[in-house]
Chain A
């Protein structure tokens, strides 16, 4: 150390740097926790809709049973899938249970197709409408949840966050996978459109640097 450096000054600089590092760590940590809380909140949004869906199902089954009592196999399958969904913990498990339930319901409605009186029943169409509304809500809630999961996972898996996250034992969150019927893929570009506007119905392009 050169003799003309004031040791007090050096000490002050070092402690200042240490304070900055601590502040930086605190900010990093807070962002991670905030992000994790967002994931939790988004998950509760999905859960509400899943619960609504599960609570609709007994009514639907009862209605169908009134017209098609002997289709016992389908009813049992729906009941089993519903039970599995209610038991499911965690996003991955719940999403697969939800997809199984969707399959079972599809069968149920395929059965219902064979009973014109049932299809004409006002109660049944009303329930069907409610169910499709809930399913749409689940799809949107899933979208919001997955976006938050992506944000959180990116935060805790990229440097420098990964160092802090590993020490704190933060684990990546699970995505809520969609059944394979979703809407078409969308390539959104947030780049500023250039004046040489591309004509409609061209294949999607990567956003260029603008």
Chain B
């Protein structure tokens, strides 16, 4: 009886995911601290009232009040990021809830698999995109959602759709969705200023990046200044430097803040996504095979999806790690995401080992179906590109 192959250590996986979420939030807070502190020079330069405040409470008073405000803001941001992650991602992807009269097959598959997995019914959403893909989000199983694209419903047959849904349900049951949802929301937040700038105008964006790099160089030199003075400067120069402490701090702020906001923070956001392990895809595939008792379904689906290679969805690099197969790059070269998924061939071969093997002809047929689908939807090829 195949029932005796337990999804090993599922409770360990849940605990690990909960811990990972806390770690993510803590790292996010750390990243956000200078992020918001960097708003300070902006305030100083563009809001004259700030000078009044400095004048009223004195420089040192200002340096106490501002960090307190910053800490409070960061805390608020962390809470918002955690609680609103779901809604934020739904908005990014533009998915709409599945209506009662829509996609009966999908609803039935989800209903049945939930019975098998002992999970509450997740909410279902469809993203209007011809690119077939799917993902699940939610902080816990009772408030989870599964999002599929219109293309997925068109391309996959029942058994394949079942495999994909089972894969997503497994992410929900393991609390993978908690980590990945939070990671997506946080990465999105950290990338927001840069993305907004590039969406405004990519020339301005590049100019700003160059300025940021110069700023970073100025910041580093500013940091080195006291060291250099201590090493080779005379005591008279040191005394003069002490008198210039406030301008020196300002220089550090002005130089460092654009570099931090536009270069470092987005990079850190990507590293946060990296905390979502690639191994979880293998685990979810294994769970899906266990739940559907039909590894071939998911393997065929993966083969089809990998063959399509169409520009994805309203893809934000911040959400790339959520999808069942990595969304192909629709982002320009200066904005590429890190690789978030293991290679699909490897996943298929692992799935093939679980059952009694999958004939190569079946996989080839699935791939051909994917390629055929890609060329049957020419009007959608440009739809998602560039605009995100």
Contact = CB atoms under 8 A, between A and B. Distances in A.
Dominant secondary structure of chain A at its interface with chain B: loop
A184 B356 contact: yes
A29 B346 CA distance: 43
A97 interface: no
Contacts of B3: 143, 146-147, 150, 175
Given A187-B354, A190-B283, A137 B8 contact: no
Interface stretch (A54-62, A81-89, A198-206): A198-206
Interface string A10-50: 00000000000000000000000000000000100100010
Interface string B266-294: 00000000000001001100110111111
Nearest to A154: B6
A184 B349 contact: no
A190 B174 CA distance: 14
Contacts of B4: 150
Interface stretch (B21-29, B312-320, B358-366): B358-366
Interface in A113-165: 133, 136-137, 139-141, 143-144, 146-148, 150-151
Contacts of A175: 1, 3
Given A200-B363, A204-B354, A140 B286 contact: no
A186 B115 contact: no
A103 interface: no
A183 B293 contact: yes
Chain B CB count within 10 A is highest, among A137, A201, A204, for A201
Nearest to A141: B115
Interface residues of A, number: 37
B108 interface: yes
Contacts, number: 113
A70 interface: no
B282 A193 contact: yes
Contact of A188 (B342, B354, B358, B360): B354
Interface string B1-35: 11111111100000000000000000000000000
A175 B1 CA distance: 11
B352 interface: yes
B353 A140 contact: no
A179 to B, nearest CB: 13
A27 to B, nearest CB: 14
A144 B7 CA distance: 12
A200 B352 contact: yes
A203 B290 contact: no
Contact of A143 (B291, B358, B359): B291
B6 A147 contact: yes
A203 B185 CA distance: 42
Dominant secondary structure of chain B at its interface with chain A: helix
A156 to B, nearest CB: 16
A202 B352 contact: yes
B357 interface: yes
Contact of A151 (B6, B9, B349): B6
B290 A188 contact: yes
Contacts of A147: 3, 6
A190 B293 contact: no
Interface string A171-210: 0000100000011111111101100011111111100000
B355 A186 contact: yes
A183 B2 CA distance: 10
B348 interface: yes
Contact of B289 (A188, A201, A203): A188
A137 B115 contact: yes
Nearest to B5: A188
Interface string B98-142: 000000000010011101111000000000000000000000000
Contacts of A136: 112
Nearest to B363: A200
Contacts of B295: 186
29 contacts: A45-B115, A45-B118, A136-B112, A140-B112, A140-B113, A140-B115, A141-B115, A143-B116, A144-B115, A144-B116, A146-B1, A151-B6, A183-B293, A183-B294, A184-B294, A186-B2, A188-B286, A188-B289, A189-B354, A190-B8, A192-B279, A197-B345, A197-B350, A198-B349, A200-B358, A201-B359, A202-B353, A204-B354, A205-B353
Interface of A: 42, 45, 49, 133, 136-137, 139-141, 143-144, 146-148, 150-151, 175, 182-190, 192-193, 197-205
Interface of B: 1-9, 108, 111-113, 115-118, 279, 282-283, 286-287, 289-295, 342, 345-346, 348-350, 352-360, 363
Please give me the 7 A-B residue pairs with the lowest Cβ-Cβ distance, nearest first: A140-B116, A201-B357, A183-B293, A200-B352, A140-B115, A146-B3, A144-B118
